[in-house]
């Protein structure tokens, strides 16, 4: 089994997702089924092949570094329900 309780706990920590206890068994089962399917790639010898991370070669068009957006702080912060004086509010982090 690739993904056991310990691995699942570690993945939960890395991805910062709380996993309910009643979901754990089903998640483990599904993740292992998926990893078994994925493991097919380990049988392929492709050491000499280059990686392809982007489907269109040499196509990165960076725009000029000039301010062009009309999006302001106020309109962006409307999407959060906890802001004050232009800041986002979070639980206290410094005692």
Least distance from other proteins to the Cβ atom of residue 70, Å: 9
The CA distance from 13 to 66, in Å, is: 39
Out of 81, 84, 85, 86, the residue judged to bind other proteins by CB under 8 A: 81
Q: Does 54 bind other proteins (CB under 8 A)?
A: yes
Map residue 87 onto helix, strand or coil: strand
Out of 65, 82, 85, 86, the residue judged to bind other proteins by CB under 8 A: 82
Binding to other proteins (CB under 8 A) within 3-22 occurs at: 3, 7-8, 10-12, 14-20
The CA distance from 81 to 89, in Å, is: 9
Rounded to 5 degrees, φ, ψ at 73 are -60, -40
């Amino acid at each position: 089994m690739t993904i056991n309780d310990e691995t699942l706990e570690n993945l939960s920590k890395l991805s910062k997702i709380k996993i309910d206890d009643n979901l754990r068994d089903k998640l483990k089962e599904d993740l292992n089924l998926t990893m078994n399917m994925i493991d097919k790639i380990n049988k392929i010898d492709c050491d000499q092949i280059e990686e392809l991370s982007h489907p269109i070669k040499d196509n990165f068009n960076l725009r000029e570094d000039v301010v062009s957006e009309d999006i302001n702080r106020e309109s962006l912060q409307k999407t959060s329900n906890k802001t004050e004086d232009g800041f986002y509010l979070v639980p206290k982090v410094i005692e």
